[in-house]
Amino acid sequence: MEQRFSASRARQRRTELGMTVTSLAGVMGVSTSHISQIENEHYQPGLGTFLALAKALKLEASELLEEVVEGDAA
């Protein structure tokens, strides 16, 4: 089973927590543009950013992954 980062799950969790892109970026120490690019799937986060994102969103890293469906464009 192949998995990939779920930008939609990250955005959903951020809004559940009442966080803005700006506040999440501040917690993580990155730019708002960086968070926006991740959430809009223009950029796949590296491992460090991925782990920091999970921590900032109070999730286990595995909760930010989704299964890749065969034939689904990555």
The structural domains of the chain, with segments of one domain joined by +, span 3-61
Residue 73: the pLDDT is 58
For every one of its 74 residues, what pLDDT tens digit does the chain have, with 9 covering 90 and above? 799 999 999 999 999 999 999 999 999 999 999 999 999 999 999 999 999 999 999 999 999 999 988 766 55
Q: Give the CATH architecture of domain 3-61.
A: Orthogonal Bundle (1.10)
Report the candidate in 6, 70, 48 with the shortest Cα–Cα distance to residue 14. Answer: 6
Tokens of 49: 């950013």
pTM of the model: 0.86
Residue 72: the pLDDT is 63
> What's the CA gap between 74 and 60, in Å, rounded?
22
